[in-house]
């Protein structure tokens, strides 16, 4: 049947012989793409009388939405918390390299830093679409400095701050600008944090609870004021206790406002969280789990000494520590590794593992109408994977931006 170009002259691509993750299950059907969007084939056939210009045989691959990493501190020698003259080329390098790990969008993350670093770095982060140049940037994730001294983890203590009388103004003065900020991690037990959470939420910024000694009622109050995320669950917070489960208790709290879902990040690298803890969290609240890498500059590099903001860190195998200590400091895991480990550790379905790295992050950020899904009219950001969940090819806006070569290199 000839193409009818009355709607658009852009070519229509039909991906055949594949299993598409749609509506929470793998479905054996074709994927149709035009002008960077996913097409409804029924409309194409019946309204436009159109057909494909190009057909691609996917050789029985899984097609899943592109991964979204909302907590990544850097990688491949680049540290997002260091103000350097070539910061932009550094962020470009990371966004290009993570394509091979299936990440099509991300939130560059800054750990606790002096105000001068935020003032220099944040103006250099711009929200942008992905493409052949690299994964899209959804906005910055600022993890600190308004966090607990007791649970600072790898964050430098001398840079930590509290909220003073003009709490939100303190935050603005520290960061300099919120123009490109998408997520702020703070400790909800801090005085005046409620007004800060409300102000950030009003501006469409996601508030995450983390690096905190908050009890459950403080965490619930923060959610009632607008917080929707928990930064790397179990790490840098009070351990679960049966009489006061702390922030972890939000997973099964009955004080969450109606219609609101609390999401939580998990570093599924086999180091940060025991597989049993991963299983407990997943079984308690499966629809809130968001896989994050928390990757640092040393991701993709050989073991040795690297940086995480103001700190020197040491990589030993898959472990990353503040140099000279046993304090964990981010990870060197890639997102595709986290997906495979999560599936193996929990025994969850392939669909569940893939949605934890895509759909849930998009829902957290309120962009699920265009990212994290393969629904009609959404952005054609997707991956081809084999049954072992190894990425074979990455597509952004319907264009191939990375492919595993035939030698498996």
Annotated binding site for Zn(2+): 143, 211, 232
Euclidean distance between CA atoms 251 and 233, whole angstroms? 10
Instruction: Answer whether the bond into residue 280 is a cis peptide, omega within 30°.
Output: no
Q: Which of 69, 79, 269, 294 is catalytic?
A: 294
Looking at the chain, the number of H-run helices and the number of E-run strands are 10, 22
Q: Answer for the pair 287, 261: CB distance below 8 angstroms, yes or no.
A: yes
User: How many residues in total does the chain contain?
Assistant: 409
Q: H-helix or E-strand containing 74?
A: strand 74-75
Task: Give the other-Cβ count within 10 Å of 387's Cβ.
Answer: 10
Is residue 269 among the annotated active site residues?
A: no
Q: Which residues are known binding-site members?
A: 143, 154, 211, 232, 235-236, 243, 272, 328-330
Q: Which residues are known binding-site members for substrate?
A: 154, 235-236, 243, 272, 328-330
Burial-class residue 406 by CB neighbours within 10 Å (0-12, 13-18, 19+).
exposed
CA atoms within 13 A on the CB side of 8: 13
- Mapped onto helix, strand or coil, the DSSP state of residue 116 is helix
Q: List the one residue out of 93, 224, 229, 81 whose CA is nearest residue 154.
A: 81
Q: Which two tokens stand for residue 203?
A: 């501006």
Q: Which residues contact 174 (CB under 8 A, 6 or more apart)?
A: 115, 118, 145, 146, 161
Q: List the one residue out of 122, 104, 102 whose CA is nearest residue 113.
A: 122
* Catalytic positions: 294
């Amino acid at each position: 049947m000839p193409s009818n170009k009355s709607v658009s002259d852009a070519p229509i691509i039909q991906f055949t012989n594949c299993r598409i993750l749609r509506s929470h299950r793998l479905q054996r059907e074709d994927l149709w793409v035009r002008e960077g969007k996913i097409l409804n084939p029924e409309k194409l056939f019946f309204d436009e009388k159109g057909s494909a210009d190009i057909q691609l045989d996917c050789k029985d691959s899984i097609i899943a939405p592109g991964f979204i990493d909302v907590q990544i501190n850097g990688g491949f020698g680049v540290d997002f918390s260091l103000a350097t003259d070539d910061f932009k080329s550094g962020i470009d390098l990371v966004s290009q390299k993570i394509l091979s790990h299936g990440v099509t969008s991300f939130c560059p993350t800054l750990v606790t830093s002096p105000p001068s670093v935020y003032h220099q770095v944040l103006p250099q982060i711009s929200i942008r679409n992905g493409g052949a140049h690299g994964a899209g940037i959804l906005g910055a994730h600022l993890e600190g400095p308004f966090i607990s001294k007791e649970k600072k983890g790898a964050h430098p203590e001398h840079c930590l701050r509290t909220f003073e009388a003009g709490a939100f103004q303190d935050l603005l003065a520290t960061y300099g600008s919120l123009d490109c900020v998408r997520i702020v991690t703070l400790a909800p037990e801090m005085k005046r944090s409620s007004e800060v959470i409300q102000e950030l939420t009003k501006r469409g910024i996601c508030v995450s609870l983390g690096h905190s000694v908050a009890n459950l009622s403080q965490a619930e109050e923060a959610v009632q004021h607008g917080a929707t995320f928990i930064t790397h669950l179990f790490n840098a917070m009070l351990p679960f206790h049966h009489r006061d489960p702390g922030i972890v208790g939000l997973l099964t709290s009955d004080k969450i406002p109606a219609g609101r879902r609390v999401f939580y990040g998990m570093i599924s690298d086999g180091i940060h969280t025991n597989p049993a803890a991963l299983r407990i969290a997943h079984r308690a609240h499966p629809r809130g789990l968001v896989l994050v890498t928390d990757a640092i500059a040393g991701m993709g590099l050989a073991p040795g000494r690297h940086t995480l903001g103001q700190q020197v860190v040491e990589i030993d195998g898959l472990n990353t520590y503040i140099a000279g200590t046993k304090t964990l400091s981010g990870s060197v895991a890639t997102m595709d590794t986290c997906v495979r480990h999560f599936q193996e550790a929990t025994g969850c379905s392939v669909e569940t593992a893939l949605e934890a790295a895509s759909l849930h992050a998009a829902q957290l950020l309120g962009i699920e109408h265009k990212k994290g899904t393969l629904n009609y009219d959404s952005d054609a950001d997707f991956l081809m994977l084999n049954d072992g969940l190894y990425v074979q090819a990455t597509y952004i806006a319907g264009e191939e931006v990375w492919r595993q070569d035939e030698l498996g290199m």
